[in-house]
């Protein structure tokens, strides 16, 4: 059922029931249970970055100057509020965070980094890389 939903989140309960050999009522109950326990976190459409005008994808590595819980929480709170940020990961190793962000062009991306990301709480060092070509964007998790 999860594999089918990952392939087509718009599948009807009838379609799912047929795929997993259940009647519609038990299939619907199973989907609701998976949603209730949080295994299914939501449903969304995959949009074209290019057609929406986002021509630049960049990765910003950040090193923090302080690692106190208050500074880290303030940083995380503010980075979550930036709509251009698609993902942010707290890392092990040299850098503390990795941000994936998008912008229409390099000038706008530069402004994002210089005006917004650099001014986030606790940021000490920034290293930015740009995607030349997206080779793979996983749309589904591997399920055994």
28-80 pLDDT, tens digit per residue, is 999 999 999 999 999 888 899 999 999 999 999 999 999 999 999 999 999 99
Q: Mean per-residue pLDDT for 101-125?
A: 97
Q: What is the pLDDT of residues 87-105, one digit of tens each?
A: 999 999 999 999 999 999 9
User: 77 and 19, same structural domain?
Assistant: no
129: which DSSP letter?
E
d(CA 122, CA 76): 10
Residue 47 lies inside a defined structural domain of this protein: no
Report CA torsion sign: 66, 121, 99, 132. Answer: negative
The confidence band for 137, taking pLDDT boundaries of 50, 70 and 90, is confident
Question: Quick one: pLDDT at residue 144?
Answer: 79
User: 88 and 121, same structural domain?
Assistant: yes
Q: If residue 75 lies in a helix (H) or strand (E), which one and from where to where? A: helix 69-80
User: 122 and 64, same structural domain?
Assistant: yes
CATH label of the domain that carries residue 115 = 3.30.70.920
Residue 67 lies inside a defined structural domain of this protein: yes
Question: Quick one: pLDDT at residue 118?
Answer: 97
pTM above 0.85, yes or no: yes
User: 121 and 85, same structural domain?
Assistant: yes
d(CA 55, CA 124): 28
Residue 144 lies inside a defined structural domain of this protein: no
User: 24 and 81, same structural domain?
Assistant: no
User: 60 and 126, same structural domain?
Assistant: yes
Question: Quick one: pLDDT at residue 141?
Answer: 87
Residue 50 lies inside a defined structural domain of this protein: no
Q: Is it the case that residue 139 has pLDDT exceeding 80?
A: no
Mean pLDDT, rounded, of the chain:
95
Domain count for the chain: 2
- Write out the DSSP string of 85-127: EEEEEE-SSS-SEEEEEEESSHHHHHHIIIIIITTSTTEEEEE
Asked if residue 25 lies in contact with residue 10, where contact means CB atoms within 8 angstroms, the answer is no
Q: Is it the case that residue 133 has pLDDT exceeding 90?
A: yes
CATH label of the domain that carries residue 25 = 1.10.10.10
Residue 25 lies inside a defined structural domain of this protein: yes
65: which DSSP letter?
S
Domain that holds residue 78: 56-130
């Amino acid at each position: 059922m999860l594999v089918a939903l990952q392939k087509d989140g718009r599948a009807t309960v009838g379609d799912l029931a047929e795929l997993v050999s259940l009647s519609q009522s038990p299939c619907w109950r199973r989907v609701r249970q998976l949603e209730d326990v949080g295994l299914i976190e939501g449903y969304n459409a995959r949009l074209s970055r290019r057609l929406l005008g986002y021509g630049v994808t960049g990765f910003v590595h950040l090193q923090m100057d302080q690692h106190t819980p208050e500074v880290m929480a303030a940083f995380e709170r503010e980075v979550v509020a930036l709509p251009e940020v698609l993902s942010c990961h707290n890392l092990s190793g040299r850098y503390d965070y990795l941000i994936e962000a998008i912008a229409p062009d390099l000038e706008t991306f530069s402004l994002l980094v210089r005006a917004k990301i650099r001014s986030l709480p606790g940021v000490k060092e920034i290293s930015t890389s740009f995607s030349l070509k997206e080779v793979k964007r996983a749309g589904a998790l591997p399920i055994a």
